[in-house]
Structure 1
Amino acid sequence: MGAESYSNMHNLGLLLFRLYVGFTMAFAHGLGKIPPKPAFMGFVGSLGLPAPELMAWLAAIAEFGGGLLIAIGLATRFSALALGGTMVIAAFLVHGADPFAKKELALLYLSCCVLLFTAGPGAFSVDRLISKK
């Protein structure tokens, strides 16, 4: 496989990865939190986080908005950082005392965020279109 074919496969892989991770996060996890319901805000408050209403909104925006931005490849590294921070809270605070099986999904999303933060969105992304000017 030549260098150009490898590059195209690499970028196609990042595109498919971003689409799946971003849309799954946005619609399976984030959409139901917008707007945050009183029960969710109460749960966030029970974790001992300051300003539970604000934190609930930030989590909802990171999951829904960040997921959509990751899917289209816009502000990808920032979105991956915000969503990754949310997944750190989910894995180690929300599920801190739980067995690994309860933390697994948050840790999997965290690892996806680390990959996107380090690798970037790839060539098939809005970020790349903007940077080409």
Structure 2
Amino acid sequence: MPLPAPVQDVALLLARLLVGAVLVAHGWDKLAGQGVAATAGFMGSLGVPAPQVAAVAVGVLELVGGLLLVLGAATAVVGLLVVVDMALAAWLVHAENGVFVTDGGWELVGVIAAVSLALAAAGPGRASVDHALLGRRSRGRRRVAR
């Protein structure tokens, strides 16, 4: 039995705020905290092609994508892009370290990917830019798709 719509909206809002804030923090760190050069150096050491471009792309995706998730804007697209980003991070960096983040494992990127995928599938809820712009039209599409 699904939760009542207002409860769903609050749950989706809290999920967006939390995951968005984590992404913003990580994106900011890649671009301005540790910086693009350090991020690119790390990516290069992993064999990532064009590490400078990859560092900027991932930093911008996490920073801007995180802000968009907080706002509930372009949620499906951003959610799927974040899933790809986190899958690559898990594969290239974290998988060999096991599950736990304290050991460098994949648990954080796994949870971010799972929540981002759920947001892409469920939508951002009514307290969002997507809902304000698409409103009933987006709900109608969902009904037809089910």
Q: So what's the TM-score if we normalise by structure 1?
A: 0.88
User: Separation in 2 of the partners of 1:51 and 1:24?
Assistant: 25
Which residue is equivalent to 2:67?
68
Q: Which residue identity is paired with 2:72?
A: G
Give the superposition deviation at 1:38: 1.3
Which residue is equivalent to 1:8?
6
User: Separation in 2 of the partners of 1:26 and 1:37?
Assistant: 15
Alpha-carbon deviations, 1:70-112, whole Å to 9, x = none? 0110011111111111111111111131121111111111111
Give the superposition deviation at 1:37: 2.6
Please say if 1:118 is aligned against 2:121. yes
Give the superposition deviation at 1:32: 1.1
Which residue is equivalent to 2:19?
21
User: Separation in 1 of the partners of 2:38 and 2:23?
Assistant: 20
Unpaired stretches in structure 2, ≥5 consecutive residues: 138-146
Alpha-carbon deviations, 1:25-64, whole Å to 9, x = none? 212x111112543121011112222211111111101211
User: Separation in 2 of the partners of 1:100 and 1:12?
Assistant: 29
Please say if 1:103 is aligned against 2:103. no
Q: How many residues align?
A: 129
Q: Percent identity among equivalent residues?
A: 36
Which residue is equivalent to 1:130?
133
SS at match of 1:100: coil
Unpaired stretches in structure 1, ≥5 consecutive residues: none
SS at match of 1:77: helix
User: Separation in 1 of the partners of 2:69 and 2:80?
Assistant: 11
